[in-house]
Amino acid sequence: MGARGSLARQLLVWQLVVVTCLLCAVGVLAVTQAGNNFRTTEGRRALSVAESVAAQGIVGDLENGPFELNAPAETARSLSGVDFVVIAGADRYVLASPYPDQLRTTLDIGDSTVLSGRSWVGEVDGSIVAHVPVLDEKGGKVIRMVAAGSKSPGFFAGVLDSPDNALRVLGVALVIGVSGSLLLARRVKNQTLGLEPHEITALVENREALLHGIKEGVVGLDPQHRITLVNDQARALLALPDDAVGRSVEDLDLNERIRDLLTGRATGADQIVLRQGKVLTLNRMPIDVRGAVVTLRDRTDLMTLRDELDASRHATDTLRAQAHEFSNRLHTISGLLELGEYEEVRGYVSRISSAQGEWRAEVGSRVGDPAVAALLIAKASLAAERGVGLRMAPDSELDRVEDALSTDLVTVLGNLVDNALDALGGEQGWIEVGVWQEEDEVRVEVRDSGPGVAPEIAEEVFEHGFTTKAAAHGQRGLGLALIRQACVRRGGSVEVHNSGGAVFTARLPR
């Protein structure tokens, strides 16, 4: 079991120490109480004996010889049960004593008040003594004194002579304490799965090192959804306060999506949540009836890369749509040439050039920011491929803006247009985009001819994970959440209402 000893042995030793100290304290208390009882009882008895002897005429009879008082004193001692009865003169000269060597000596009276004519009970030389004065016939002068008393018992004698049999009580208590210690040690051993103290310490140290050394966040929850464990990474990713441990998830400043995943109201593997500009992946694993463990990973960089890939994919789709549209137009021109319809070819080419030029001219004249203008021109081709018309609001106007705001505008506009295209579901319709530059903000409005958004879910559509699409899984429902995050990060807002279709309005402060 090693030099440190097993858990059972250590528990037994420490509990025996505690029990022994407790029993010693009880023993001291018992002896003290017995001593107090002895002093009270013996003091009263000694006082009674001394008063009885003093009341006998022989004590005060001066005609008797000075040492003829031994017989009556001894008789009084043997009848009363006290250890000694001593008779002395007013000068404390011992006249009668059960101890021959005490005769003709001076009696030690300690702090007694007997010489002043008053009876006294106290302790002198380890004995409980009562002193009673004998006065002359006039009652004003002390001519004799009677001392009666018993020797105080020692410590062990006090224990043996205590009325509650203190030693027996201590012995029984010691047996019970030892038995209880053994049973408790066995129970603790079972509850610690047979691990010894040094093994438990090593396990805790390894757990702490593991929890605080990994890059993933770990949150432990009990069945009442209170946080029981959180490592440094999880605290940073979720922006939890220092006193998060012990608090309920519902009491923390977390959005509803994160609360649902932490409490198990929302389930699924690799769930995406947004928290203070970070994209996090959550996985929750229930642990029987003990609660659950939630792991978190920061996927912000991965999501940024994915957005860049999405941008490349959108650009590819736009080029593919333009190539498809250009191919169709070439086929049309080729057919007209084979038919000899040269005037029709001239008119067709003129109409195509006019339509594309008008859209580019309109976007260029109303939108001065290159990134936003390029996005709208590219989205027009994608919308045309799906049979959807993309148009600008008549009074739209936007100058060139700072790079950060331009990036957020591209994110908001791109996701809103894509959302509108998905809402139309491949059916013919139209999408209208409006961008207005106001004094301290840029307002974006995208409306479509689709079915609109039900009023009861007007707020829910901006929650991450919410989607009305049939294939609702994976990364669905993230676009509108990203729009809201971009707006809120700048201190703005986004909302939706219906007016012949869905109308999304986003405000981005400059």
**pLDDT tens-digit series, residues 368-397:** 888 888 888 878 877 877 888 888 888 889
Asked whether the beta carbons of 428 and 442 are under 8 A apart, the reply is: no
Burial code (b: 16+ CB inside 10 Å, e: under 16) for 354-386 equals eebeebeeebeebbebeebbebbbbbbbbbbee
**Higher per-residue confidence, 309 vs 224:** 224
* Token reading at 118: 């008053």
Cα 388 to Cα 11, 17, 296, 499, distances in angstroms? 80, 88, 41, 18
How many Cβ atoms sit within 10 Å of the Cβ of residue 213? 10
Query: Rounded to whole angstroms, how far apart are CA atoms 136 and 60?
Result: 7
Give the separation between CA 293 and CA 262, rounded to whole angstroms: 9
Query: What confidence score (pLDDT) does residue 475 get?
Result: 40
Residue 445 pLDDT: 93
In whole angstroms, what is the distance from residue 111 CA to residue 108 CA? 9
Task: For residue 115, give the DSSP letter.
Answer: G
Q: Which has more confidence, 49 or 326?
A: 49
Tell me if 127 sits within 8 A of 89, measured CB to CB. Answer: no
Taking CA atoms, 120 is separated from 50, 112, 127, 280, 407, in Å, by 10, 6, 14, 90, 105
Average pLDDT, the chain: 76
DSSP alpha helices (H): ranges in 55-137?
Answer: 57-60, 70-80
pLDDT at residue 477 tops 60: no
Rounded Cα distance, 452 and 287, in Å: 43
Position 1 scores a pLDDT of: 43
- Residue 109 in 3-state DSSP? coil
In this prediction, what percent of the chain has a pLDDT beyond 70?
71
The position carrying tokens 């250009």 is 326
201, pLDDT greater than 60: yes
What is the maximal distance between C-alpha atoms in the chain? 179
Residue-level pLDDT at 443: 92
Q: In what order do the strands lie in the sheet with 278-287?
A: 227-230, 217-221, 291-298, 278-287, 271-275
Mean pLDDT within 411-429: 84
Mean pLDDT computed over 268-293: 80
| 359 vs 119, more confident | 119
Residue 491 has pLDDT above 90, yes or no: no
pTM of the model: 0.44
pLDDT digits (tens, 9 = 90+) for 66-99: 445 566 667 777 777 788 888 888 888 888 888 8
Q: Could you give the CA distance from residue 83 to residue 244 in angstroms, rounded to a whole number?
A: 74
Average pLDDT over residues 198-226: 75
More confident residue, 393 or 161: 393
Tokens, residue 330: 């070439």
Angle, helix 403-424 to helix 479-489, in steps of 10 degrees: 150
- Comparing 152-166, 294-308, 379-393, the range with the smallest average pLDDT is 152-166
Query: Picking from 132-136, 381-385, 420-424, which range would have the lowest pLDDT averaged per residue?
Result: 381-385
- pLDDT score for 170: 64
User: What strands lie across the sheet with 120-124, from one edge to the other?
Assistant: 94-96, 84-89, 142-151, 127-135, 120-124
More confident residue, 315 or 472: 315
